């Protein structure tokens, strides 16, 4: 069953390639949604896929950026089906 995650990353998560790496990981796993920097220094991600793929997506991001991430807030919801690809968004 497809799920959606809404994630807020806090820490030194801007200026370290977070969005581009997240996009690459998402596309390799066929996860759809978007990632963007927020003006408060956080990075926001909304992504949809099968639950196991989303867990893998989160784990890979954490593996690459563990030293930069101070906090991660993840909200799980039912998928909406509104995304076709994974994109970098801009605030």
Residue 37 annotated among the catalytic residues of the structure: yes
Q: What does pLDDT average to over the chain?
A: 97
Q: Clarify whether 67 is annotated catalytic.
A: no
Judge contact between 54 and 26, C-beta under 8 A.
Answer: no
Which of the four pLDDT bands, split at 50, 70 and 90, describes residue 85? very high
pLDDT band at 1 (very low <50, low <70, confident <90, very high): confident
Residue of 19, 27, 40, 60 with catalytic role: 19
Residues 51-60 have a mean pLDDT of 98
Work out the average pLDDT over 76-80. Answer: 97
Q: How far apart are CA 90 and CA 77, in angstroms?
A: 23
Q: Is the pLDDT of residue 91 over 80?
A: no
């Amino acid at each position: 069953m497809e799920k959606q995650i809404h994630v807020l990353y806090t820490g030194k998560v801007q200026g370290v390639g977070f969005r581009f790496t997240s996009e690459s990981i998402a596309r390799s796993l066929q996860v759809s949604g978007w990632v963007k920097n927020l003006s408060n220094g956080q990075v926001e991600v909304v992504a949809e896929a099968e639950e196991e793929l989303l867990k893998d997506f989160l784990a890979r991001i954490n593996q690459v950026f563990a030293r930069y991430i101070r906090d991660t807030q993840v909200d799980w919801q039912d998928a909406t089906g509104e995304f076709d690809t994974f994109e970098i968004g801009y605030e």
